[in-house]
Amino acid sequence: MPEQPDFAAHWSLHPSVSLRDESFGAMAYHHGNRRLVFLKSPLLVDVVRQLDDFESADVALEALVADEQRAAVRRALETLTSSDIVRVG
Amino acid sequence: MSVNHSLRDRFESGLAAPICLTWEVTYACNLACRHCLSSSGVRDPRELTTDEAKAFLDEVAAMQIFYINIGGGEPTIRRDFFELVEYGLSRGIGIKFSTNGSRITPEVAQRLAGNDYLDVQISLDGADAATNDALRGEGSYDTAIRAMENLRDAGMKGFKISVVVTRHNVGQIDQLLALADSMNAELRLTRLRPSGRGVDVWDELRLSAADNRALYHWLMAHPTVLTGDSFFHLSALGDPLAGINLCGAGRVVCLIDPVGDVYACPFVIHEQFLAGSILDGGFGHVWRDSELFRSLREPGSPGACASCGSYDACRGGCMAAKFFTGLELSDPDPECVFGHGETALAQRVSVGPRPSPDHSKRVTITSR
Ligand code: SF4
Ligand code: SF4
């Protein structure tokens, strides 16, 4: 199992990633590893776009996501770190 | 990438922009491959000017299309080819271009290597010169291998070696994979379709049912081999192959041809699948509003496949393969793994339509 990413660190969208809005959320493309990833909710897209503005992923989640959705968005973010769409630290 | 159902439904109803946009920049080619999907050979006098081509790239960037596939003809024959590539890259567009390798000198390879946004695909249709050259012409194997060596020696990693699988090379796929490994490249296998000049050789070159079954299992065992999603009709044999597993024509796929005409997919260059022209209000307009694309995005009916338990995996297969073999679009794929395509082929009333336009050189010199 990969290690849990550090939610207390500063997170950001990888600079080689482009995002495009779609009706279901957005598509993300990483020009470095050439992965195409689907972000399947507008809320998740919102969070991903704004990560950089917060001192940590936890703070971003707290500010942007309602309690009952936080666990799901957290899991989705975690998978985005494994494809390097989102950078930790 | 495998895709869940609700997402696939979204794909069926179309996206804000294509995922897989192919732009063929010229019909001119120095080779005359027997199975050329675009019947290329001679330049069309109406091909886009440099300014028109750049305006198109501006629109691609504005639509946030992440990357495009450039092909031809032989794209590097265009005098402004590298200018257009540089222009696209400067707009943040990822570019992969397909070439027969004839212009990939050591100097060009140096220029190409080391840019994350740039990828190269060398076409090769056999693991030895005899197999390859029978299809692509005398000397084309050596040319392609030299191009690969130049790219490897320039330090380019992960470029693609793209093979159209035929009954003559299907027995060589392990060798082709070893070749790709030795070049620090990735192997890409695609399906032979009866498109372009392929319509004349499809019967002679296509895989047998047994070949198709073996290929399916090989692909399942080699998930790093790329397929451009082209074998999804084989997913009816069991677990689905990686990919979107539906015909993406006009939904996630489209083609811009050298004169700026927009077709539903690179394999359906025919007026019936012509959606419009980028010179007529821009590409975005065609993508969003063309009647053809709108109709392709309607939920399809399973037609003759309705009673098939594997319809969900195969979706009736490839529209181009049906169209150019004279089947109805509601028929099973001509290579339906359960043989229903063969039955449909036997019952068809006429042979398929001819691809048009045809830019083949008038005298095609084949090496046999
Ligand atoms: S009957 Fe149709 S859906 Fe079923 S495997 Fe054949 S082509 Fe695919
Ligand atoms: S027509 Fe065939 S090649 Fe074209 S997108 Fe559909 S399945 Fe793919």
When pLDDT is cut at 50, 70 and 90, the band that residue B366 belongs to is low
* Residue carrying structure tokens 């504005």: B62
Say if residue B7's pLDDT is above 70. Answer: no
Any ligand 2 atom below 6 A from CB of B253: yes
The CB of B249 under 6 Å from ligand 2? The reply is yes
Q: What distance in angstroms lies between residue A42's CA and the mean position of ligand 2's atoms?
A: 30
Pair of tokens at residue B230: 């082209």
Torsion of CA B133, B137, B138, B140, to 10 degrees: -70
Smallest Cβ–Cβ distance between B10 and the set A16, A23, A36 belongs to A23
pLDDT of residue B1: 41
* Mean pLDDT of the region B211-237: 95
Q: Which residues pair with B121 in a beta bridge?
A: B98, B160
Contact B89, B36 (CB under 8 A): no
Cis-peptide into B73, omega within 30 deg: yes
C-beta B244 within 6 A of ligand 2 = no
Q: Within an 8 Å CB–CB cutoff, is residue B92 touching chain A?
A: yes
First to last CA, chain A: 20
- Per the CB < 8 Å rule, is A29 touching B66? yes
**CB burial class (10 A; 0-12, 13-18, 19+) of residue B16?**
middle
Q: Measured at the alpha carbon of residue B334, what is the angle toward residues B329 and B337, in degrees to the nearest 5?
A: 120
Q: A76 pLDDT exceeds 90? A: yes
Q: Residues lining ligand 1, CB < 6 A?
A: B 233, 236, 305, 308, 310-311, 314, 316-317, 332-333, 336-338, 340
What average pLDDT does range B251-267 have in this prediction?
Answer: 96
DSSP H stretches of helix in B137-262: 140-153, 173-182, 198-205, 209-221
Q: Is the pLDDT of residue B224 over 80?
A: yes
* Beta carbons within 8 Å of B198's beta carbon, 6+ residues apart: B35, B36, B37, B192, B324
Q: Do the Cβ atoms of A85 and A5 come closer than 8 Å?
A: no
What percentage of chain B carries pLDDT values higher than 90?
83
CA of B20 to nearest chain A CA: how many angstroms apart? 11
Confidence of residue B2 (pLDDT cuts 50, 70, 90): very low
| Residue B315 CA to ligand 1 centre (angstroms) | 7
Q: Chain A contact for B5, CB < 8 A?
A: no
Min Cα distance B40 → chain A (Å) is 29
Query: What ipTM was estimated for this complex?
Result: 0.82
Average pLDDT, chain B: 92
Dihedral angle, C-alpha B63, B68, B72, B75, nearest 10 °: 100
| CB-ligand 2 contact for B305 (6 Å cutoff) | no
> Are B264 and B297 spatial neighbours (Cβ–Cβ below 8 Å)?
no
Cα B32 to averaged position of ligand 1 atoms, centre (Å): 34
Mean pLDDT of B241-253: 88
Would the pLDDT of B355 be above 70?
yes
Q: Does B67 touch chain A (CB under 8 A)?
A: yes
pLDDT tens, A17-69? 999 999 889 999 999 888 899 998 999 999 999 999 999 999 999 999 999 99
Above 60 in pLDDT, residue B365? no
pLDDT at B117 over 70: yes
For residue range B273-304, list pLDDT tens digits in order.
999 999 999 999 999 999 999 999 988 788 89
Residue B324 has pLDDT above 70, yes or no: yes
Flag if A31 and B67 touch (Cβ within 8 Å).
yes
The answer to whether the CB of B331 falls within 8 A of the CB of B341 is: yes
Pair A33, A83: CB distance under 8 Å: yes
Classify B140 as helix, strand or coil: helix
Report helix, strand and coil shares of chain A as percent, to nearest 5: 40, 25, 35
Predicted local confidence at residue B311, as pLDDT: 92
| Statement: residue B133 has pLDDT above 90 | yes
Q: Identify the pLDDT of residue B354.
A: 81
Asked whether residue B347 carries a pLDDT value surpassing 90, the answer given is no
State yes or no: pLDDT of B368 exceeds 50.
no
Distance B332 CA to ligand 1 centre (A): 5
In order of B97, B164, B259, the CA distances from B207 in angstroms are: 27, 11, 33
Q: Do B66 and A21 touch (CB under 8 A)?
A: no
Helix, strand and coil percent figures for chain B, each rounded to 5:
40, 15, 50
Give the SS3 label for residue B98.
Answer: strand
- B34, B88, B119 from B94: Cα distances, Å: 30, 8, 8
Confidence of residue B40 (pLDDT cuts 50, 70, 90): very high
State both tokens at B211: 């070949």
The pLDDT of residue B6: 65
**Predicted local distance difference test score (pLDDT) of residue B351:** 76
Determine the pLDDT at residue B291.
95
List the one residue out of B138, B137, B141 whose CA is nearest residue B129.
Answer: B141
| pLDDT of B115 | 86
Answer whether B66 sits within 8 Å of A23, measured CB to CB: no
Q: Which-ligand-closest: CA of B252?
A: 2
| Spatial separation of the C-alpha atoms in residues B274 and B255, rounded to whole Å | 10
